[in-house]
A and B are shown apart, each in its own frame.
Chain A
Amino acid sequence: MLTRRTFLQSSAATALATRLFAAPEGSTKPNPELENLGAVALREAKKLKASYADVRIIRYRQQFLTVRLNPERGTGKTLEVPAVSDGGSFGFGVRVIVGGAWGFAASPLVTKEEIARMTAEAVAVARANAALMTKPVELAPVPAYRERWQTPHERDPFAVPLEEKLDLIRSAAAEVKKEKGVFAAGCNLSFRSEDKYFASSVGSSIQQLNLQTYGQVNATATDFKRALSKSRRYQPQQVTAGYEYVPLMNLVENAQRIREEVIEHLNAPPVTPGKKDLVLVPSHLWLTIHESIGHSTELDRALGYEANFAGTSFLTTEKMGSYRVGSDIMNIWGDRTTERGLATTGFDDDGVKASKFPIIEKGIFKHYQTTRDQAHLIGERESRGCCYADNWSSVPFQRMPNVWLEPGKSETNLDDLISSVDDGILIDGDGSFSIDQQRYNFQFGGDAFWEIKHGKKQGMVSRVAYQSRTIDFWQACDLIAGPSYWQQWGAPNDGKGEPEQINSVSHGCSPARFRQVNVIQTD
C-alpha cells in the first residue's frame, strides 16, 4: 500500500512539469527538443510568406491547498474542510505578421504536424485581417538571444511534500480558531510554474521557468444579534520564489494576530467621514499604485487600443515628459528585474530582455510601458519589454511590469508619518477597489483601519473607504518612509484585454502619507 511518505518521494519523479522540459543541471541553453518543435513554426511561417513569426510552447503547473474551519450546521462543532488540487496545462501559440497584419492560432496538441497546421491557420487569420488594415504593424528591433533563465529559488515548491504544506496550513487555521469569537478561519498555499519556450524569426530561442508562491490566512467573526459579519486577512507578500519563501511568511504567528484583530474589527466603531490624512502601508498602497499609476501609463490605453474594455488614460501622449502627476517626492519605476516581483522574468513575450525604466521622476510623467509593435508610435526606438500573454492560447500584448514607488529618505520612519497627523486613518491590506476608465476618479477600501488622533495611532475603526482623483492624491503625498520599510505586494489576476487575460504584477513601496483625502463611511 502506498503510504503518505512513499508518495512524497515518488511524486517529484512523476511530476507533470518534468516530462518535456527536462534539461541537464546547469544548462544555459534551451531544451533541444523544444528548439526542434519551435523551428517547425518558424519554417512553416517563412514558407507562407510571413514577415515575422514567433512561437511559445508552455507547460503550466498549479498546486492549490486550502483548509477552512467552520461550525457544523446544527451542532456548532468545528469542521475542518480541506481541498487539494494539482493540475497543469500544455500547449502552444503561434503569432505571425503577414501583409502587415497580425495573425494568431493556438492548440493543446503539441506535435510537429499540429504546429505546422496552426501556423498556417495563423497566416490565414492574418491574411483576412490585412484586408481591413490601414497601417501595417511595425516592430522595434531586438537582438537575438539563445538563453535559459529561471526564477532564483532554493527549493522547488512542487518537490516539497504535500504533507508538510498541509500541516502548516492546518496549524495556522487552527491558531485563528482558538479565539472563541472567530466564526470561521482559513489558510491556503498555492504555487504556480510557467515553463516557457519562445522562438522567433529574429533568431531568438529562449527557455524560462517562472515560479510563483502564494499564501493567506483569513478570519471571519459574526454577531448574530446584530446580523453583522466582519473579516480580517493576513496576506503575505506574493512572490516569485521557491518554497524557501514559505517559512518567511510566518503564517502561524500572524494567525495569532488576526484572530484578535477580527474581533476588534467586528466591534470597531464606524469612521466619521470627512477630509483626513491617510497613512498607507505597502500591503495597501500597492493596489492604489497599480490602479492609478500602473494602468494610466500603459501605452495601449493612452492610444485607444483598450478603449472598448479597460479604457483609455488621462495621460495622453502629449503629456509625456512634462506633465505633473504627483509631488516632487514621487518617483516611480517600471521594472521586470525586481527581486521576487511577480512580473520579474528574463525576457518578455516579444523576446525583449527584462529591464528597468523611469515612469515618473520627481512627480513628472516620463515614460510609458511599451512593446515592440508600439515603440514607434511614440517615436521610441526600442521596446520597454512589457509584452506578455497569460496562456499558450492567448495573444501576447502590452502588460504591466512591476511598477514601484521609490522610498523616502533613509532616516524617515513610520512614526514620522504618523506624528504630525492630527486626524487621520492608517490602512492595512487591500479591500474593494474601483477606478474609472481613464484613471481619474478612484475609491479604495482596505482590510483594516486604525484612527490616528493628535499624532498617535488609536483603536480600529470600520466601514472606511477613500475617494480621490489620481493627480490630487499623488500631489497630496508629502512624506514617504525610508528604504528599510520598502516591501512589495501584488496580484496574480490583473485583468485587461479582449478576450480578457490576467497578469501577475508587484508594486513595491514604503509607507506613505497623503494629506486631506476624502474619507467616506460605507455600509
Chain B
Amino acid sequence: MLTREQAKKLTDKALSFSTFPECEVSVNSSESAFIRFAVNDVTTSGFTVEQSMSITSIRDGKTGSTRVDEFDDDSLRDAVKRTERLALISPANPERVPPLEPQKYPEIENYAASTAGARNQAMIPHIHAIIDGARTNSLVAAGFFERSAETAAIANKQGNFGYGRTTDANLSATVRDSAGSSSGWASRPAVQIEAIDGGAVAKTAIDKCLRWKEPKRLDPGKYAVVLEPTATGDLVQLMGFSMQARAAEEGRSFLSKKGGGTLVGEKLFPEFITLRTDPFNPLYSALPWGGGGFGFRGGGGGGGGLPAERMSWIENGVVKNLFYDRYWAAKAGKPATAFPTRLVLDGGDKSLADLIASVDRGLLVTRFWYIRVVNQQTVQLTGLTRDGVFLIEQGKVTSPVVNFRFNQSPVEMLKNTIAAGRPIRVRGGEGQGMIAPPLLVKDFSFTSVSDAV
C-alpha cells in the first residue's frame, strides 16, 4: 500500500503530464483478506491487492475523466492524455466549480496495524468458535470475516494534497437449525480487529436461533416495535441520501415545503432525535476529507475534497442542516457541507431490556433485509424482518413470530419514536451501517407475512 511519500510522488507524476489548467487525481490502494464459511466449513478465502487512480482534466468547464490501475509512466501519461482528449470533445459543464486551493486537512489516523497485518491465521480461531458453537448445538453456521486496509490520496494542479489511511474489519454469522426452520444472526464491525470476538458473535447468533423456534403467525398491521440497533441502522442509514438541499429546494424531497422552499428550521421529530455526521468518531474509519461533493474527489458536478467535518442534520428534533455540494452552495450563497455519511443517531442511557420492559404489546426486531426505496420523496421503504422477530407482552418477550414485510419511511418512524437506548456501531446485511441506538417506535407498518426463515 502507498505511503504518504509514495502517494505524493505518484500524484505529482500524474499531474506533471497535465497540459490543462485544471487536473484532479485521486489514488487508492488497498489490501484485503477474507474468509467465507458455510454449512460449518470454510468455503472461499482470499487475499487481494488493489490500486486505482481516477483522473479528471478540465479546461473552460470541459471535463473528461478516467480510471486506471496501472501506475507506470506510460500508463499515467496515456490516461491524462485520454482525459484531456475526452474534455476537448465534451460540452462545457455549466455546473463545474473552481478547483480547490490547498486545504488544511484534519488528522484522522484511525489505522490499526493489527487489522492491516491480520491474515487467515488470525481470523480462523474466531471462525472456529462459531462453527464449534453451532456444531455443539446441532446447528449450522455460515458467515464472513473480512479485514481491509486502505490508503488514499487526492491532489490537484493548484497544489492541494491530502493523504489518509484506514482499516476496518467485520465478522458476521448466521446460525440455522438443520431443518431450516430457525435462524439467528450477529455481526461485529470494528476498526481494530482485536475488538472482534468470534465467541461473542457465536453466542448471540446461536441464542437467537435457539429462541426463534416454531414462530407464531400474527396478522400484518401497525405494531409498536423495539428495534435492535442493527434494525435501526438498516433504515436510518438510508435517510442520509435524502438530506440534499438541491432535492429539497427542487420539490423532490420530504424536506420540500408545499408551495416551494424547505423545512429547515422546523421541528419534525421528538426532542431527543439528533442525527449527525461524525467522521472523527473513533468507532469509524474515515478519510480526512469528504465534504462538498458526492465522492471524496467530485467530478461531473458538485465539487468535493473539502476537509472532513462534523455536521448535525437533525438536532433535538429540528431539521438543522441540509447537504450542500460546492456548486449548489455557491448558487444558494451558503457554505458547502459535509456529505451525510458516517452517520450517528444519538440515543439515551436505556438498554435494550429497558425498552422491552416498557412495551405493553409489540414486536422485537433483530434486523431488516432487502430494503428498497418505494418512494424517493417520502423515503418510503419496503423490506423484511430477518433472523428473529419476537412478540413482547407486558414488558416481556413471550414468543417468536413469523417474519413480516414492512412498508415504512424512516422519516415517519423517527417522528413516531418514543424512546432511544445506547448507540453502538452496527452493520447489517446491506450498506455500510452507522452508529445507532435501539429504538422504541409506535405504529410501525407491516403489510404482509413472509414464510422465509
Which residues of A are in contact with B by a Cβ distance under 8 Å? 2, 4, 7-8, 11, 14, 16, 66-67, 72-74, 79-91, 101-108, 121-122, 125-126, 128-129, 131-135, 162-163, 166, 170, 183, 220, 222-229, 303-309, 311-312, 314, 316, 393, 395, 397, 431-441, 443, 445, 463, 465, 467, 469, 498-499, 518, 520, 522-523
Q: Is the CB of A305 within 8 A of B39?
A: yes
Give the chain B neighbours of A314 by CB distance below 8 A: 451-452
Give every chain A residue within 8 A of B386 (Cβ-Cβ): 436-437
Contact: A90 with B88, CB < 8 Å? no
In the complex, are the beta carbons of A436 and B69 less than 8 A apart? no
Bound Cα distance A386, B409 (Å): 38
- Known contacts: A81-B300, A84-B86, A523-B374. The answer to whether A436 contacts B405 by CB under 8 A is yes
Across the interface, A73 reaches (CB within 8 A) one of B48, B78, B183, B328, namely: B328
Additional A-B contact list (7), CB under 8 Å, known A132-B41, A314-B451: A81-B300, A222-B252, A312-B180, A432-B372, A432-B373, A438-B453, A522-B375
Q: Are A132 and B128 in contact (CB under 8 A)?
A: yes
Residues of B contacting A84 in the complex (Cβ-Cβ under 8 angstroms): 63-65, 86-87, 89-90
The complex places the Cα of A51 from the Cα of B140 at a distance, in Å, of 28
The reply to whether B95 and A79 contact each other, CB–CB distance below 8 Å, is yes
Q: Is the CB of A229 within 8 A of B382?
A: no
Partner of B452, one of A16, A101, A441: A441
- The tally of CB-CB contacts under 8 A between chains A and B is 284
One of A7, A102, A227, A499 near B43 (C-beta < 8 A): A102
Q: How far is the CA of A12 from the CA of B237 in the complex (A)?
A: 43
- Interface on B for A, CB 8 Å cutoff? 32, 34-52, 54, 63-70, 78, 81-82, 85-91, 93-95, 119-121, 124, 127-128, 131, 140, 142-144, 146, 172-174, 176, 180, 183, 185, 246, 249-252, 256-260, 299-301, 328, 331-332, 369-375, 377-378, 380, 382-384, 386, 403, 405, 407, 409, 429, 447-453
B49 engages A440 (CB within 8 Å):
no
- What are 9 A-B residue pairs whose CB atoms fall within 8 Å in the complex? A73-B246, A73-B332, A108-B50, A125-B47, A222-B252, A225-B259, A393-B50, A436-B403, A520-B447
A-chain residues with CB within 8 Å of residue B121 when the two chains form the complex: 128
Question: Do B69 and A83 touch across chains, with their CB atoms under 8 A apart?
Answer: no
Identify the 4 closest CB pairs spanning chains A and B, nearest first: A87-B67, A83-B300, A436-B452, A441-B450
Contact present for B88 and A2 (CB under 8 Å): yes
A364 to chain B, nearest CB (A): 21
Q: Is the pair B448, A441 in contact by a Cβ cutoff of 8 Å?
A: yes
Partner of B67 from the list A83, A89, A306, A435 (CB cut-off 8 Å) is A89
Give A61 Cβ to nearest chain B Cβ, in Å: 10
Q: Is the CB of A85 within 8 A of B377?
A: no
Known contacts A304-B176, A436-B403; decide if A397 and B44 are in contact (CB<8 Å).
Answer: yes
Bound-state CA distance A431–B301 (Å) is 26
- A367 to B86 alpha-carbon distance, docked (Å): 48
**Are B371 and A434 in touch, CB under 8 angstroms?**
yes
Residues of A within 8 Å of B124, CB to CB, are 128, 131-132
Given contact pairs A467-B447, A469-B451, A82 touches B34 in the complex (Cβ within 8 A): no
Q: Give the Cβ gap from A225 to chain B, nearest Cβ, in Å.
A: 6
**In the complex, A467 Cα to B47 Cα: how many Å?**
41
Question: In the complex, what's the smallest C-beta–C-beta distance from A92 to chain B, in angstroms?
Answer: 11
Residues of B within 8 A of A445 (CB): 374
A414 to chain B minimum Cβ distance, whole angstroms, is: 27
For A104, give the chain B residue with the smallest CB separation. Answer: B46
Provide the residues of chain A in CB contact with B173, threshold 8 Å: 308
CA distance A108 to B69 in the complex (A): 7
**Among A83, A102, A523, which residue has its beta carbon within 8 angstroms of that of B45?**
A102
Give the complex CA separation of A86 and B40 in angstroms: 44
CA distance A122 to B48 in the complex (A): 10
Select one of B259, B260, B382 contacting A443, CB under 8 A.
Answer: B382
The residues of A that contact B95 with a CB separation of less than 8 Å are 79, 81
For B246, list chain A residues within 8 Å (CB): 73
Q: How far is it, in angstroms, between the C-alpha of A436 and the C-alpha of B372 when the chains are bound?
A: 12
Q: Hey, which chain A residues are within 8 Å of B140, CB to CB?
A: 304, 307
When distances are taken between beta carbons in the complex, the residues of chain A under 8 Å from B131 are: 132
Nearest chain B CB to A111's CB is how many angstroms away? 11
Q: Assuming A129-B35, A166-B89, is B68 touching A88 (CB within 8 A)?
A: yes
CB-based contact A81/B93 at 8 Å: yes
Are A305 and B38 CB-contacts (below 8 A) given A83-B93, A227-B251, A434-B370?
Answer: yes
Pair A224/B176 contact, Cβ less than 8 Å: no
B143 contacts across to A, CB distance below 8 A: 308
Please determine whether B146 and A82 come into contact, CB atoms closer than 8 angstroms. no
Q: Which residue of chain B has its CB nearest to the CB of A431?
A: B374
**Closest chain A residue to B84, Cβ basis:** A2
B258 and A305 within 8 A (CB):
no
Interface contact B91-A523, CB-CB below 8 Å = no
Given known contacts A108-B70, A224-B259, A128 and B120 CB-to-CB distance under 8 angstroms: yes
Q: A89-B69, A128-B121 are in contact. Are A80 and B47 (CB under 8 A)?
A: no
- Nearest-neighbour CB distance to chain A for B301, whole angstroms, equals 6
The reply to whether A80 and B450 form a contact with Cβ atoms under 8 Å apart is no
CB-defined contacts of A438 to chain B, threshold 8 Å: 451-453
Beyond A128-B124, A162-B86, A523-B409, is A437–B452 a contact (Cβ under 8 Å)? yes
Q: How far apart sit A290 and B259, CA to CA, in the bound complex (Å)?
A: 41
Tell me, in angstroms, the Cα distance from A106 to B50 when the chains sit together.
Answer: 8
A198, B347: Cα distance in complex, Å: 53
Q: Among B64, B176, B252, B259, which residue has its beta carbon within 8 angstroms of that of A229?
A: B252
B319 CB to nearest chain A CB (Å)? 15
Nearest chain B residue, comparing its CB with the CB of A433: B372
Give Cα distance in the complex from A464 to B65, angstroms.
39
Q: How far is the CA of A8 from the CA of B36 in the complex (A)?
A: 46
When distances are taken between beta carbons in the complex, the residues of chain A under 8 Å from B87 are 84
- What residues of A have a CB within 8 angstroms of the CB of B37 in the complex? 132
Task: Identify the closest chain B residue to A73 (Cβ).
Answer: B331
- Note all chain A residues with C-beta closer than 8 A to B176: 304, 307, 312
Tell me which of A101, A170, A397 contacts B91 (CB under 8 A).
A170
A11 pairs with B85, CB closer than 8 A: yes
Give the residue name and chain of the B residue nearest to A397 (CB).
B44
- Within the complex, the shortest CB–CB distance from A303 to chain B, in Å, comes to 7
Contact at B91–A306, with CB atoms within 8 Å? no
